[in-house]
Each structure stands twice: as structure tokens, then as C-alpha cells.
A = this chain, B = another copy of it.
Amino acid sequence: MKHKDILNKLRTSGLRPTKQRVEIAKFLFDREKTFHFTVESLNKLLLKKITTKFALATIYNTIHAFKKAGHLNKVEVRGKRSYFDTNITNHHHFYDSDTSELIDIDVKDVIIQKLPKAPNGKKIKNVEVFINLKN
């Protein structure tokens, strides 16, 4: 993803392309594979690049703005901190509690044959399958 595309991505999302946002967007979206991170891990990774100064709150702000704009998925897992996922298609997860690692599962790899119907007045928004791993 080129610099121009990043700027465009931000602008079309109604986000002013500030230095911080551009840096974070490049870091997150300029990659082949899907990327899972927590605010803490992202902060550490960004610190190594030092190109721009980031307050922790800015990372929170930016991540939430990206989330709101639909560029990130929030994945809440057992435990305290939230994970974010650059894969915004509908998908499922393996979770390895030993390493606290999330691994994407393509929707195609999970086929659900039977689901209960939603309680009265409610509809199903989405179905998340969470596969916990052990050794």
C-alpha cells in the first residue's frame, strides 16, 4: 500500500491524515498477512521505529478510529486485553492460551450445520467460533 493510498484510506474514512495516523496506518495495513495485536504490543513495535512520537492515548484513539471506520476488527478474548485484527472479513479464531496467540480461521474452514434460532424479537448478528488450543 502506497503512501497515497494510505492518505486516501484515511481521508475517505473522514480521518485527517496526521503524522501519527499515517505512521500507524502504514505499519498496520502495509503487509501481506493479517496482523493481530494488542495496544501494548503495537506500542512496543512502534517505539522501535521512533519516526514519530506517539502518546499511548494516541494509539488508543487511532485504533478506535480505525475500528470505527471498519479497518480493524476487535477480538475480545479470555483475559484482560483486547486484540485487534487487520482481517476485517468475517472469520473465526484459534486461541493458544500458552502463548496468548490468536490465529485466524477462514470462514470456509468452519461449517455449522445447525444453529438455534435467536430469542424472540432478536436476530443473529454474527456467529463467532472460538477454538481453544492445548498442547
Per assembly, the copies of the chain total: 2
Q: Identify the closest chain B residue to A124 (Cβ).
A: B131
Binding site of A, secondary structure by majority: helix, strand, loop or mixed?
strand
A122 CB within 8 Å of chain B: yes
A1 at the interface (CB under 8 A from B): no
B residues in contact with A112, CB < 8 Å: 110-113, 129
Interface residues contributed by chain A, number (CB under 8 Å): 35
- Whether A123 and B111, one on each chain, are in contact in the complex, defined by CB atoms closer than 8 angstroms, is no
Please name the residue on chain B nearest to A115 by beta carbon: B110
Quick check: which of A15-23, A63-71, A72-80 contacts chain B, the rest being far away?
A: A72-80
Binding site for B on A (CB under 8 A): 74, 76-79, 94, 96, 103, 105-106, 109-116, 118-119, 121-135
